[in-house]
A and B are shown apart, each in its own frame.
Chain A
């Protein structure tokens, strides 16, 4: 059995890798009754050669699929090797990898064979077996198959930590063009169901502590970036909508990797838009942790993110009238708006200034990128001479002194401000 399982794993891991999510966070499942595993540590057990975190065993149950979505390697018309795991094989792999501390858990997705429910049922079986027969308390992320029945989705939520349905293409017109057999409604319907269940469970938990878990790490989704001609404004507006409307824990952005000669798509050999992807993640962080509104980052006057500077700096330069911020007096929320000051530094500033006023040297020690921040702040003994407040000049100063690490290395890590 050794050789066949090796081949299957190669095929079905390869097919799953375009789903960028590998997060194992957001859930705090305890190891119960001396079983195996727990969640909450959010560990990356290794990193791929492209620098992505490997936290979960991320595989497809099968890459057989009845659909023909143009952007997907598993599409029906693609001439590739096909394989399928049995339920037991996935369970064994998960348990054995987990016991050796290779992974935090399982992320199981699948091509659609026969129909949505038939596929979803198999995914649920894996999760159920892991939880009930192996007392496995590690992380389980299940893909929800669009148009699967609410009963199955509900069952999935009882065993999984996180559920996700990918939006794939940010705009409806793009989706119609590339996946004409799919429709947005089939994706939205389970998202709505999940959202309602998650809210309900939360309410019930307040009253009955014994309410069973329901996808404690919530739901997430992914959009492919750069496969159709969408603007950043469209992407960020869509992300914002899904955060607000469906309580998404995370929206992932996946730069399209050209895998097809289909005329509707960027040609093979086109570069993966990793720089743009990085700017989108930064914008996403601004919305989630920095109190930014989507329309502050992109709007009709500014529909595309700058690639040469990060979105926070870009916003600051477009809003010079909001500065300078007083490091020793202003609120946390305002300090967070300063380019060069991240969440960690802002918290430290608030904590440290209680013991006395802070100067530039203090800020440097705390970890502020002073080269960047100095155009936007006043602090003890320091006030920038705004001989010329023109933002284009400040921008060129900043670009000259702090070379964007991102652009110089083609780095795709989140370089956050």
Chain B
């Protein structure tokens, strides 16, 4: 086995193709980076992966056969974390899965598995927070719009939740950090992007509001204040549950304010 610096296109299919080629060419990455970062000139110790859907699909099916749909999803979620160490970790764990005769997904004493589980936990916490903290505003044309800014790329992970729940209303959830959103038209959900010079922000949505929007946002704020029991106040715990970075998207905190 030769150790090389590897490059791939940054996509999930690209990462799966990488796993395929590790076995195909008997190479193993010392580093794994996006092809965009690649310097000109081909060195002996480099290997660039060109994404091939066929190879990616075979790896996907192989992983599912080996560690189940859940095991496969864990690797995908790790990738969605966008953490710099994530791609290499995914490759390492996947080859550990393929190289061991047993299903080692639950070997919690293994360092790479532990690292993976830790990342999955953070991603899943962020996914859960986005299910909780996403706040729709009703626009005059009947569409419900929410702006989010998650730490990880969890929009694909919350699509089904919102689709199932809000099946009878048109909605858009827009990730301002990654500049794309999900739009549900009452039947199907599709990915939307808007041109890079403009964006969707809470400040600009105000003019488009339905006439009852302010009333309900205000009622919610009052509700939040009224359910508080001041004799039990515990801000430390409050902040642990609702970290400040989410506040500008929550009416009950400091909606629309930059903190």
Q: How many residues of B contact A (CB 8 A)?
A: 56
Q: List A6-60 residues whose CB lies under 8 Å from chain B.
A: 6, 9-11, 13-14, 16-18, 30-31, 34-38, 41, 43-54, 57-58
- Which chain B residue lies CB-closest to A138? B165
Interface stretch, picked from A108-116, A180-188, A348-356, A392-400, is: A348-356
**A41 and B161 contacting across the interface, CB-CB below 8 Å:** yes
CB 8 Å contact bits of B216-244 with A (1 = contact, 0 = none):
11111011111111111111111011100
| Residue from A9, A34, A35 within 8 A of B226 (CB atoms) | A9
A132 within 8 A of B: no
B228:A17 contact, CB within 8 angstroms: yes
Query: How distant is the Cα of A413 from the Cα of B220 in the complex, in angstroms?
Result: 24
Q: How far is the CB of A77 from chain B (nearest CB, A)?
A: 22
A272 within 8 A of B: yes
B39 vs chain A, min Cβ distance (A): 38
B228 CB to closest chain A CB (Å) equals 5
Contact of A17 with B169 at beta-carbon distance under 8 Å, contacts A41-B131, A50-B238 already known: no
Residues of B contacting A381 with CB < 8 Å? Answer: none
B235: nearest residue on chain A (CB-CB)?
A49
Provide the residues of chain A in CB contact with B109, threshold 8 Å.
Answer: 352, 355-356, 358, 362, 365-366
A144 adjacent to chain B (CB < 8 Å) = no
Q: Contact between A101 and B136 (Cβ–Cβ < 8 Å)?
A: yes
Q: Which residue of B lies closest to A362 (CB)?
A: B109
- Interface bits B50-76 vs A (CB < 8 Å: 1, else 0): 000000000000000000000000000
> Does any Cβ of A come within 8 Å of B137's Cβ?
yes
| Chain B residue nearest in CB terms to A53 | B241
Measured in the bound complex, the distance between the Cα atoms of B111 and A358 in whole Å is: 13
Q: A267 on the interface (CB 8 Å rule)?
A: no
- Please determine whether A34 and B168 come into contact, CB atoms closer than 8 angstroms: yes
A274 on interface, CB distance cutoff 8 Å: yes
Q: Is there contact, CB below 8 Å, between B229 and A43?
A: no
B76 CB to closest chain A CB, in angstroms?
A: 21
- In the assembled complex, B23 has its CB within 8 A of some CB on chain A: no
Q: Are A411 and B234 in contact (CB under 8 A)?
A: yes
A391 near B: Cβ within 8 Å?
Answer: no
Evaluate contact between A102 and B220: CB separation under 8 angstroms. Answer: yes
Among listed B4-12, B25-33, B99-107, interface-contacting one: B99-107
Q: Is A199 an interface residue (CB 8 A)?
A: no
Q: Decide: B219 and A17 in contact? CB cutoff 8 A.
A: no
Neighbour of A100 across the interface among B136, B161, B228, B231, CB < 8 A: B136
Q: Within 8 Å CB of B24, what residues of A?
A: none
User: Contact between B219 and A412 (Cβ–Cβ < 8 Å)?
Assistant: no
B113-144 contacts to A (CB < 8 Å): 114, 128, 131-138, 144
Do B219 and A100 have beta carbons less than 8 Å apart? no
Is B212 in contact with chain A by the CB < 8 A criterion?
A: yes
On whether the beta carbons of A413 and B168 are closer than 8 Å, the reply is: no
Q: Is A383 an interface residue (CB 8 A)?
A: no
- B108/A352 in contact, CB under 8 A: yes
Contact with B along A247-263 (1 / 0, CB 8 A): 00000000101100000
**B135 with A17: CB separation less than 8 A:** no
Binary contact readout B145-156 vs A (1 if CB under 8 angstroms, 0 otherwise): 010000000000
- Once the chains bind, are A96 and B212 in contact (CB under 8 Å)? yes
Q: Would you call A82 an interface residue if the criterion is a C-beta within 8 Å of the partner chain's C-beta atoms?
A: no
Enumerate chain B residues within 8 angstroms of A38, measured Cβ to Cβ: 164-165
Whether A67 sits at the interface, judged by CB under 8 Å, is: no
Q: How far is the CB of A174 from chain B (nearest CB, A)?
A: 21
Most buried by B among A30, A135, A410: A410
Whether the Cβ atoms of B227 and A37 lie closer than 8 Å is: no
Which one of A96, A135, A354 contacts B216 once the chains associate, using CB atoms below 8 Å? A96
B166, A51: Cβ atoms closer than 8 Å: no
Known: A54-B227, A58-B227, A366-B109. A410 touches B234 (CB 8 A): yes
Contact assessment for B108 and A351 in the assembled complex, using a CB-CB cutoff below 8 Å: yes
Q: Do B232 and A101 touch (CB < 8 A)? A: no
Q: Which of B107, B217, B227, B237 contacts A413 (CB 8 A)?
A: B237
Q: Are A45 and B107 closer than 8 Å at their CB atoms? A: no
Q: Mark A175-215, 1 if CB is under 8 A from B, else 0.
A: 00000000000000000000000000000000000000000
Determine the chain A residues whose CB is within 8 A of the CB of B168 once the complex forms. Answer: 34-36, 135
Residues of A near B132 (CB, < 8 A) are 43-46
Q: Roughly how many angstroms separate A16 CA and B228 CA in the complex, as a whole number? A: 11
Pairwise interchain contact B222-A99, C-beta atoms closer than 8 A:
no
Tell me the residues in window 338-380 of chain A with beta carbons closer than 8 Å to chain B beta carbons: 348-349, 351-352, 354-356, 358, 362, 365-366
Query: What residues on A are CB-neighbors of B215 within 8 Å?
Result: 2
Q: Is the CB of A50 within 8 A of B228?
A: yes
- Cα A154 to Cα B109 in complex, Å, equals 51
Question: Which residues of chain B from 13 to 44 have any CB-CB distance to chain A below 8 Å in the complex?
Answer: none
**Residues of the B chain whose Cβ atoms lie less than 8 Å from the Cβ of A409:** 234, 236-237
Is B167 positioned at the interface, with any CB of A under 8 Å from its CB? yes
* A272 and B231 contact, CB distance less than 8 A: yes
Say whether B136 contacts A99, CB under 8 Å: yes
- Is the pair B232, A274 in contact by a Cβ cutoff of 8 Å? yes
Interface membership of B252, Cβ < 8 A: yes
Report Cα–Cα, A101/B132, bound state, in Å.
Answer: 8
A residues whose Cβ falls under 8 Å from a Cβ of B: 2, 5-6, 9-11, 13-14, 16-18, 30-31, 34-38, 41, 43-54, 57-58, 93, 96-97, 99-102, 135, 255, 257-258, 272, 274, 348-349, 351-352, 354-356, 358, 362, 365-366, 409-413
Beyond A36-B167, A46-B242, A49-B233, 15 extra complex contacts between A and B, CB < 8 Å:
A9-B223, A9-B226, A31-B167, A35-B167, A36-B165, A47-B238, A49-B235, A50-B228, A50-B230, A99-B166, A100-B135, A351-B106, A355-B107, A365-B109, A413-B240
Residue pairs across A and B with Cβ atoms less than 8 A apart, 16 shown, are: A6-B218, A6-B222, A13-B227, A36-B168, A36-B169, A47-B238, A48-B224, A49-B228, A50-B228, A53-B241, A101-B146, A102-B135, A257-B229, A272-B229, A366-B108, A412-B232
